[in-house]
Amino acid sequence: MVSAAAGATGSVAGQIAKIAGARVVGIAGGPDKCRAVVEDFGFDACLDYRQGDLPAALKQQCPRGVDVYFDNVGGPILDAVLGRLAPKARVVLCGVISSYLTGEHPGPANYVNLLSKTALMQGFNALDQWSRFDEAFAALRQWEADGRLVHRETVMEGIESCVDALNGLFTGANIGKMLVKISEPSG
């Protein structure tokens, strides 16, 4: 399970899990993003958290529970997935996009499921593995060359769009990496 699955980090995390042989379900906001998650990024399914009953959708897609959850958002989505953990599940905390703007990061309400399912929850920071950058980059580059790893970009034009682009990260305006194109490259 991967939240913010249509974003730059979530889309890559899910594709790596697919390459490793996992069944991968994404969570994203809106039908266009869910379509991209499945059709472009190759996830097995995608749940639109804006469509109402996320716990019911999780139960339908993951009837035996969620074994691994790569969390990019925190908040109510994290709570919903914690409520659907499988025994011995692992939860990877990578981001909290749901509360970056407010600065309020409430703890998960369903944390007791970590205890009852004897699950693990741990933070992930790529900088902790900086010594493995060359290894990771070589694998990513090879998977892209093989067509097994794809990416999308949302490009906004002009320096004047920088603020809108940044704000768009928090409102879900992007699929894939959010970029600002300042000018055409000079030859």
Question: Which pLDDT does position 62 carry in this prediction?
Answer: 97
Q: Tell me: the pLDDT tens digits for 122-161?
A: 999 989 999 999 999 999 999 999 999 999 999 999 999 9
pTM of this prediction exceeds 0.75: yes
Q: Tell me: the pLDDT tens digits for 36-79?
A: 999 999 999 999 999 989 999 999 999 999 999 999 999 999 99
Short-list 79, 86, 32, CA closest to 61: 86
Short-list 23, 21, 47, 20, CA closest to 35: 47
3-state helix, strand, coil in the chain (%, to 5): 40, 20, 35
Within the chain, all domains assigned CATH 3.40.50.720 are found at 8-149
**Do residues 11 and 41 touch, judged by C-beta distance below 8 A?**
yes
Contact partners, residue 95, CB within 8 Å, separation at least 6: 4, 9, 71, 72, 73, 74
For 8-149, CATH gives 3.40.50.720
182 confidence band (pLDDT: 50, 70, 90): very high
